[in-house]
Structure 1
Amino acid sequence: MDDHTQPTSYLLVDGENIDATLGTSILNRRPEPHERPRWDRLMQFTRETWGGSPRGLFFLNASSGMPMSFIQALKALGYLPVPLSGPADEKIVDIAIQRTLQAMADRDGDVMLVSHDGDFLEDLEPLLGTDRRVAVVAFAEFRNGGFNRLLEQGLEAYDLEHDVRAFTSPLPRIRIIPIDDFDPTQFL
């Protein structure tokens, strides 16, 4: 099948959520640039998993200014940066992603959400049970527990490190290992 017959895959990235989880819950400090996800690998993973040409939307809080070097890097990787501004007491990135998920109800296309945030559950659920594919990408152990209910409704779930392979070196994570994936040499 060529790209013209594949439905569009929308890759919605909540970069701040991923960065905050990486820093707060995994590294216990602000991530260094080389420790952050390789966002091109996420785009490649979407392409390889679902086919077609994904439309990557990377949502950013730009209330304190436009991070031009990061915006240019995202554009070079094929993402459409979505810089947003708003009051400090509003979760503007979450609001924008929620509105995007709501708009998807009236459009064709698969949706891959990159976030741990339970704020998206209510807007993601109506997209399930249709002929579209819907997935969440996150660190599995930090993904909001509400996503588990949606897995039963057809939501696909991928781990940012182990499935997507978005990092250049292993992260210091403690996670539940399915017995079929257990490799004792990793612990010896």
Structure 2
Amino acid sequence: MTARTTYLLVDGENIDATLGISVLGRRPQPEERPRWNKLLHHAEVTWDQPVKGLFFLAVGDSLPSGFVQALIALGYKTIPLRGEGKVVDIAIQRTAEALVSRPADVMLVSHDRDFVPQMQELASSDDRRTALVGFREFMASDLQEIPGIEFHDLEYDVAAFTSRLPRVRIIDIDEFDPLEFI
């Protein structure tokens, strides 16, 4: 492995909301949520370097201790935030801006267009790898249009789910398997 690091910036609320509202049409059950350890592993093997997983979450006056402890046990640094506005977005934006001056690669786990300026800046560097992780069909088009940015599907590439999700996606004919549908 190299001395370079991948920063995995996880917008947990965005992923949970997209999964619940857009994919399942209801609140996800615990067994339907992503296996966050698989995401860390995917990032590490994909770019063959150490990963620092930063998991951002908005909290009120109490910490979701069980969830936070589980993330810490998996190897994430949890960043519980509170305040006015979209605190998770603000924190991820600030983190991405701070990473511009560091020799590091960045994977953003979110579908949110609020991160376009920061991801454009990160992707503009010739010696930095950048990627988006999520569900392509729900990814902000502005994010997908950033030159040089990779895309990793949370279900198909990362294999972060224990069962198949009820998604409708465009299938390249070379990948079409009729057995999935009959």
TM score, norm. by length of structure 1: 0.94
Distance 1:174 1:123 in 2: 29
Q: C-alpha offsets along residues 115-155 of structure 1, whole Å, 9 cap, x if unaligned?
A: 000000011101113201000001010000112321xx100
Distance 2:165 2:46 in 1: 23
Q: C-alpha offsets along residues 52-95 of structure 1, whole Å, 9 cap, x if unaligned?
A: 220000001012421110010000000000010102xx000000
Distance 2:59 2:102 in 1: 27
Deviation at 1:178, TM superposition (A): 1.2
Unaligned 5+ residue runs, structure 1?
Answer: none
Question: Does structure 1 residue 148 correspond to structure 2 residue 149?
Answer: no
**Which region of structure 1 is more displaced relative to structure 2, 96-105 or 57-66?**
57-66
Distance 1:63 1:38 in 2: 24
Q: How does 1:49-128 map to 2 (within 5 A)?
A: 49-87=46-84, 90-128=85-123
Distance 1:161 1:6 in 2: 29
RMSD: 0.8
Q: How does 1:8-27 map to 2 (within 5 A)?
A: 8-27=5-24
Distance 2:50 2:75 in 1: 10
The amino acid across from 1:121 in the alignment is V
The aligned counterpart of 2:162 is 168
Distance 2:38 2:131 in 1: 16
Alpha-carbon spacing, 1:125–1:61, altered in 2? closer, same or farther (3 Å): same
Percent identity for Structure 1 against Structure 2: 55
Distance 1:121 1:64 in 2: 30
Unaligned 5+ residue runs, structure 2?
Answer: none
